[in-house]
């Protein structure tokens, strides 16, 4: 495992006292109203650490040297972990020292929920959670499809009632949290490519139909439009997980492949899925489907041409 010192030379973590509910915090004789902790880890042999088995105990007094951050209260260590940018950084931190490992083990639900909610954003969390649940159950039965979609609809209702407060299904292991993050990274990658392709096509269309020589530049994608594109990709991914059965024969080509793809659809689950979205939302999912097919065709053509 990569040690924390290889990823960070200096990690600045700013924690407001209002969050941790301290009026005045004193550590080693120093008072903090706005805590700013600088983690300085030198490259030394004792920095290497693998999380111990639960039956193994460690003694902090046996450590050759201890960073000042290690002696912080466990609540602050958990807060520091929850402010890390992603799950990859969390894995590195947990593997760097027993104190971080124990802090994560005792507050795993809170730490993982904070990181994933901040990474995915609350607006996309219902789609992300539904995709994760479908991924855990795939290949999905009719009952799985109904349970996932009913919970998905309920999460959207709760988001409106609670003004956007949702939680990730917890507790998640680091492996599950990494899978959750990986799906979001893939969605963001293709959503960015989709947005650039759409803006380029819009610019070419306006240039070809314009009678002036002025070059028209489309406005950048707004945060609202960006989330709408990501949401459509999440929903298409959810459709693929819920509405297709397992098919291990990937060697078919031409009409045989189309027939096999059509047979792999589950009509009852497709109908139940489609009924949960408005006509406009269905068109968005269809646009994502067409775009991904174009990407696959380009990839296939480049592979065969080279």
Determine how many CB atoms are found less than 10 A away from the CB of residue 248: 5
Residue 10 has pLDDT above 60, yes or no: no
Burial tier of 232 (Cβ tally within 10 Å: 0-12, 13-18, 19+): buried
Residue 276 has pLDDT above 60, yes or no: yes
Give tens-digit pLDDT for 167-223.
Answer: 676 667 888 999 999 999 999 999 999 998 888 887 777 676 655 555 666 678 888
The residue-averaged pLDDT of 40-50 equals 38
Looking at per-residue confidence, does 2 or 244 come out higher? 244
Half-sphere exposure of 132 (CA within 13 A, CB side): 23
Residue 305 has a pLDDT of: 53
**Residue 47's pLDDT band (boundaries 50, 70, 90)?**
very low
Identify the weakest region by mean pLDDT among 34-43, 58-67, 247-256: 34-43
Give tens-digit pLDDT for 126-150.
Answer: 899 989 988 888 777 778 888 888 8
The domain spans of the chain are 4-106, 138-305
* Secondary structure of 210-241 as H, E, C letters: CCCCCCCCCCCCCHHHHHHHHHHHHHHHHHHH
Residue 180 has a pLDDT of: 92
Residue 266 has a pLDDT of: 65
Identify the weakest region by mean pLDDT among 41-50, 139-148, 210-219, 295-304: 41-50
The residue-averaged pLDDT of 60-71 equals 59
Q: What is the rounded average pLDDT for all residues in the chain?
A: 72
**Residue 34's pLDDT band (boundaries 50, 70, 90)?**
very low
Predicted model pTM: 0.68
Taking each helix axis as running N to C, give the angle between helix 108-120 and helix 87-94, from 0 to 180 degrees, rounded to the nearest 10: 150
The residue-averaged pLDDT of 18-33 equals 35
Distance CA 134, CA 259 (A): 25
Looking at per-residue confidence, does 276 or 46 come out higher? 276
**Residue 245's pLDDT band (boundaries 50, 70, 90)?**
low
Of 64-73, 105-114, 250-259, which has the strongest mean pLDDT?
105-114
The DSSP H or E segment spanning 263 is: helix 255-264
The residue-averaged pLDDT of 100-111 equals 91
Q: Are 23 and 17 in contact (CB under 8 A)?
A: yes
Residue 304 has pLDDT above 50, yes or no: no
Beta bridge partners, 32, equal 25
The residue-averaged pLDDT of 97-125 equals 91
The residue-averaged pLDDT of 228-240 equals 92
Instruction: Report which of 236, 241, 243 is spatially closest to residue 286, judged by C-alpha positions.
Output: 236
């Amino acid at each position: 495992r990569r040690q924390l010192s290889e990823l960070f030379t200096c990690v600045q973590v700013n924690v407001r006292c209002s969050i941790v509910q301290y009026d005045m915090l004193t550590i080693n004789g120093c008072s903090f109203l706005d805590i700013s902790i600088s983690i300085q880890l030198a490259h030394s042999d004792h920095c290497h650490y693998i999380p111990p088995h639960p039956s193994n105990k460690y003694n902090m007094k046996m450590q050759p040297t201890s960073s000042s951050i290690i002696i912080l209260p466990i609540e602050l260590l958990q807060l520091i972990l929850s402010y890390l940018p992603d799950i990859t950084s969390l894995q590195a931190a947990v593997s760097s020292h027993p104190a971080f490992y124990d802090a994560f083990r005792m507050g795993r639900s809170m730490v993982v929920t904070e990181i994933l909610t901040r990474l995915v954003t609350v607006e996309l969390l219902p789609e992300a959670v539904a995709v994760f649940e479908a991924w855990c159950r795939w290949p999905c039965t009719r009952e799985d499809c109904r349970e996932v979609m009913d919970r998905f609809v309920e999460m959207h209702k709760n988001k409106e009632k609670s003004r956007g407060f949702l939680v990730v299904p917890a507790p998640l292991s680091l492996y599950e949290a990494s899978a959750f993050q990986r799906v979001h990274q893939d969605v963001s990658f293709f959503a960015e490519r989709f947005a650039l392709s759409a803006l380029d096509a819009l610019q070419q269309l306006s240039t070809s139909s314009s009678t002036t020589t002025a070059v028209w530049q489309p406005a950048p994608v707004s945060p609202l439009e960006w989330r709408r594109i990501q949401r459509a990709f999440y929903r298409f991914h959810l459709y693929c997980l819920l509405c297709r059965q397992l098919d291990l024969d990937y060697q078919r080509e031409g009409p045989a492949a189309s027939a096999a793809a059509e047979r792999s659809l589950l009509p009852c689950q497709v109908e139940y899925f489609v009924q949960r979205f408005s006509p406009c939302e269905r068109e968005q999912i269809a646009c994502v489907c067409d775009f991904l097919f174009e990407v696959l065709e380009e990839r296939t053509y480049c592979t065969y041409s080279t």
